[in-house]
């Protein structure tokens, strides 16, 4: 590896300090550090450091080191576009279901990556499109989830949902979460959705506070085409939220189309812990 990109939570002084040390550490080993522009403005940069815009962070990079929490990783994965550069996600946040590399593991992990000695977990992504009056007005790729939810003062919303052109039901609820296995431990989990091992390839559909109590989370095939039409019939505040970070206001009649993306996020795995250990630790299973 000759080029390592660094993406960090720029408003966190701890992340900035680690980013500074990492750029210097890479320079001492003759490795070029690519630093996105918002981060670059806050660092003292060694001479061979390259400053790039966020949208170009993955271009020509052999590795991306993400410093922060799960939100920082999710933002980085969206900015990568169609690139599938392996990501070393270092947990400097709080919960961290995805950023399983600890700070103590950072430099040994980077050493192994530079020596091409690492394993990756490929995480499926979703492609979400908003169609209004027959025209696609929004298109986004997500790692975690696509959420339709009502505003604070809005009434229950009606969402006519079909899977592979087969009518499923019209959910009457506060919202609907369509999630990848990676996102199953996010918003979907808090809405009583299933925990899905990230090695599986499937999509979960979880209603948020459904009016019909028999509505339950549903898991469908990885290649399922999910269409959700907003049919509330009244003018109310309804939003589409992508990975909890990008919001789109919807209007009555909008059609949200959700498909499996043709691209994946490649996360470098920790050698000191496995997925079930992460679940036990983060969810405090077995504790009283």
What's the CATH code, domain 3-119+269-283?
A: 3.40.50.10330
DSSP of 92-111, one letter per residue?
-SSS-SS--B-GGGHHHHHH
**Residues 263, 141: contact at Cβ < 8 Å?**
yes
Count how many residues are written for the chain.
288
Model pLDDT, residue 272? 81
Q: Do domains 3-119+269-283 and 126-262 have the same CATH topology?
A: no
For 1-27, letters b (16+ CB in 10 Å) and e give eebbbbbbbbebeebbebbbebbebbb
Read off the tokens for 155: 């009434």
Give the strands of the sheet with 145-150, arranged side by side. Answer: 218-221, 202-208, 175-179, 145-150, 238-242, 246-250
Tell me the pLDDT of the chain (288 aa) as tens digits: 889 999 999 889 999 999 999 999 999 999 999 998 888 888 887 667 888 888 888 888 999 999 999 999 999 998 887 889 999 999 987 767 888 788 999 999 999 999 999 999 999 999 999 999 999 999 999 999 999 998 777 788 999 999 999 999 999 999 999 999 999 999 999 999 999 999 999 999 999 999 988 999 999 999 999 999 999 866 678 999 999 999 999 999 999 999 999 999 999 998 888 889 888 988 889 887
> Of 12, 37, 62, 70, which residue is the catalytic one?
70
Tell me if residue 70 is catalytic: yes
User: CATH classification of 126-262, choosing from 1.10.1040.10, 3.30.43.10, 2.60.200.30, 3.10.20.740?
Assistant: 2.60.200.30
CA dihedral 226, 230, 231, 233 (to 10 degrees): 180
The residue ranges of every structural domain in the chain are 3-119+269-283, 126-262
């Amino acid at each position: 590896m000759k080029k390592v990109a660094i993406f960090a939570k720029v408003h966190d002084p701890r992340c900035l300090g680690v980013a500074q040390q990492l750029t210097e550490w890479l320079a001492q080993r003759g490795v070029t550090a690519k630093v996105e522009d918002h981060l670059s403005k806050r660092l003292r940069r060694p001479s061979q450091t390259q400053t790039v815009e966020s949208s170009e962070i993955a271009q020509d990079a052999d590795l991306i080191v993400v410093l922060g929490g799960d939100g920082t990783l999710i933002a980085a994965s969206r900015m990568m576009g169609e690139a599938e550069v392996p990501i070393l996600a270092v947990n400097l946040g709080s919960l961290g279901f995805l950023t399983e590399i600890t700070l103590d593991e950072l430099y040994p992990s980077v050493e192994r990556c530079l020596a091409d000695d690492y394993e990756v977990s490929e995480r499926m992504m979703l492609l979400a499109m908003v169609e209004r009056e027959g025209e696609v007005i929004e298109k986004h790729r997500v790692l975690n989830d696509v959420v339709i939810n009502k505003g604070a003062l809005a009434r229950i919303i009606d969402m006519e949902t079909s899977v592979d052109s087969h009518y499923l039901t019209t959910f009457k609820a506060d919202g609907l979460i369509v999630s990848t296995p990676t996102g199953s431990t996010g918003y979907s989990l808090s809405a009583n959705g299933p925990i899905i091992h990230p090695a599986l390839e499937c999509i979960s559909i979880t209603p948020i506070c459904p009016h019909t109590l028999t509505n339950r989370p549903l898991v469908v095939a990885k290649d399922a085409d999910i269409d959700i039409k907003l049919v509330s019939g009244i003018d109310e505040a309804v939003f589409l939220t992508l990975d909890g970070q990008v919001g789109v206001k919807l209007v009555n009649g909008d059609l949200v189309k959700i498909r499996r993306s043709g691209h994946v996020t490649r996360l470098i795995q920790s050698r000191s812990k496995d997925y079930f250990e992460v679940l036990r630790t983060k969810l405090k299973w077995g504790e009283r």
